[in-house]
């Protein structure tokens, strides 16, 4: 998830407001913005909220391709990472972290904070999972309670395979597979049940193009059993949501406007058609990468890595600094995402997810980038 990247902005140039292609949250369509203008009343008192929650859950189940329960929480996508870990892990539990970037590594830091024993398989920021023998060996020898991974690693601009990991999870009886699908859902194929994912973590602000105020996660039957055993109590706790949609008693006051916006975001995707939406992302991503290569710039992912259809990671041109590139692009009304950790100042990201997966917008952005790169 992009918890620390530059979020979507509108930049005013010569009195004109123009879109940007950063790697964080997307421009929110008017249809979604308008939903929040309504005064819904109290979600604690009105049965209509529980009905809306269940309808939204159904749309998310359809999008995630799961029959399992989907819990919807108030808070940005990072919330459900903590929800999943704190509700299913105890100190001393073993967690196998599969990492190809910043957010993959982050799972390990979070598990350590809970007191878990963590083993990390680092494939490199510019790579995607490829050595499945090494993964299987780690599973057999380490015997983890949970495997964590990120499907779409935005700082690296890559997409990892999930099916193969799910198959290994089942083969060796690992209790939990936890997958961050925050920046992939709606822009990449997701099949939670076929992939044997126990905890699939999503957020409202990426391909769904809603405000960054809601998060959600699917919870398998096996995961619910572990949730009951751990019995974690806290703001992020999953257990109270097991019965909340039916009883109407939620653990804290729900955010009705946020749930309604998430519902509308899902509706818009299904109005377009989920397959068509994914194809749109793939088409725009392919165009973006081709233009980047034509400019003489270098994509960050290794040649044998799988590039993301929702964000493209590019090396900063050798003849300029990231600060200069960022500044010159902003003058032209374009904002892209920088990077963090060991990629800071070296790699920038172009977001083409959700409302930004627009071929005309990306063409304009590539024209601006080409002008800036070649004129400096």
- For the chain, give every domain's residue range: 11-29+273-375, 31-270
Which pLDDT tens digit goes with each residue over 74-86?
999 999 999 999 9
- 113: which 2 tokens? 């904070």
Sign of the torsion formed by the C-alpha atoms of 245, 249, 251 and 253: positive
Q: Which of 19-23, 34-38, 152-156, 251-255 has the lowest mean pLDDT?
A: 19-23
Q: Strand 199-203 relative to strand 176-180: parallel, antiparallel, unpaired?
A: parallel
Sign of the torsion formed by the C-alpha atoms of 153, 78, 93 and 342: positive
Instruction: Give dist(CA 317, CA 160) in Å, integer.
Output: 26
Q: Does residue 14 or residue 155 have the better pLDDT?
A: 155
Instruction: Give dist(CA 183, CA 29) in Å, integer.
Output: 18
Residue 18 has pLDDT above 80, yes or no: no
- Distance of CA 290 to CAs 47, 313, 314, 319, Å? 51, 13, 12, 21
Output the DSSP codes for 334-355.
---B---GGGTTTEEEEE--GG
For the domain made up of 31-270, the CATH class stated in words is alpha beta
Instruction: Give dist(CA 175, CA 311) in Å, integer.
Output: 32
pTM: 0.93
Looking at residues 270-294, what average pLDDT do you find? 98
CATH of domain 11-29+273-375: 3.90.1150.10
Residue 281 has pLDDT above 80, yes or no: yes
Count the neighbouring beta carbons within 10 Å of the beta carbon of residue 146.
27
Instruction: Give dist(CA 248, CA 175) in Å, integer.
Output: 30
Looking at residues 287-312, what average pLDDT do you find? 97
Instruction: Give dist(CA 325, CA 341) in Å, integer.
Output: 19
Name the burial class of residue 376, with classes exposed (0-12), middle (13-18) and buried (19+) by CB atoms within 10 angstroms of its CB. Answer: exposed
Which pLDDT tens digit goes with each residue over 141-167?
999 999 999 999 999 999 999 999 999
Q: Which of 353, 68, 72 is nearest to 192 (CA)?
A: 68
Rounded to a whole number, what is the distance in angstroms from the first to the last CA of the chain? 33
How many percent of the chain have pLDDT more than 90? 88
Domains 11-29+273-375 and 31-270 share a fold: no
Q: Which of 81, 280, 60 is nearest to 188 (CA)?
A: 280
């Amino acid at each position: 998830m992009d918890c620390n990247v530059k979020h979507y902005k509108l930049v005013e140039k010569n009195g004109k407001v123009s879109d940007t292609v950063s790697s964080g949250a997307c421009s929110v369509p008017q249809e979604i913005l308008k939903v929040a203008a309504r005064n819904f009343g109290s979600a604690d008192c009105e049965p209509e909220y529980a009905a809306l929650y269940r309808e939204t859950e159904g749309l998310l189940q359809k999008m995630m391709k799961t029959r399992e329960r989907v819990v919807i929480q108030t808070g940005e996508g990072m919330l459900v990472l903590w929800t999943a870990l704190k509700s299913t892990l105890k100190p001393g539990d073993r967690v196998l972290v599969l990492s190809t970037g910043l957010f993959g590594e982050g799972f390990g830091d979070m598990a350590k904070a809970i007191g878990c024993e963590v083993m990390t398989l680092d494939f490199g920021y510019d790579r995607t999972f490829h050595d499945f023998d090494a993964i299987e060996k780690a599973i057999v020898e380490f015997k983890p309670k949970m495997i964590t991974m990120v499907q779409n690693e935005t700082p690296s601009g890559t997409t990892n395979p999930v099916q193969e990991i799910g198959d290994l999870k089942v083969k060796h009886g690992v209790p939990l597979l936890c997958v961050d699908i925050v920046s992939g859902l709606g822009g990449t194929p997701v099949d939670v049940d076929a992939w044997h994912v126990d905890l699939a973590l999503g957020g409202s602000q990426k391909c769904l193009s809603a405000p960054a105020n809601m998060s959600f996660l699917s919870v398998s039957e096996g995961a619910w059993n572990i949730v009951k055993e751990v019995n974690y109590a806290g703001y992020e706790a999953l257990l109270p949501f097991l019965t909340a949609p039916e009883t109407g008693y939620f653990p804290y006051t729900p955010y009705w406007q946020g749930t309604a916006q998430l519902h509308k975001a899902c509706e818009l995707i299904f109005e377009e058609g989920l397959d068509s939406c994914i194809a749109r992302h793939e088409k725009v991503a392919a165009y973006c990468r081709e233009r980047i290569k034509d400019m003489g710039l270098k994509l960050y992912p290794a040649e044998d890595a799988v590039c993301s259809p929702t964000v493209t990671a590019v090396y900063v041109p050798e003849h300029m600094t990231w600060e200069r590139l960022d500044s010159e692009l902003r003058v032209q009304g374009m904002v892209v995402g920088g990077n963090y950790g060991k990629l800071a100042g070296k790699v920038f990201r172009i977001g083409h997810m959700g409302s930004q997966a627009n071929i005309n917008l990306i063409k304009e952005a590539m024209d601006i980038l080409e002008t800036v790169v070649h004129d400096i």
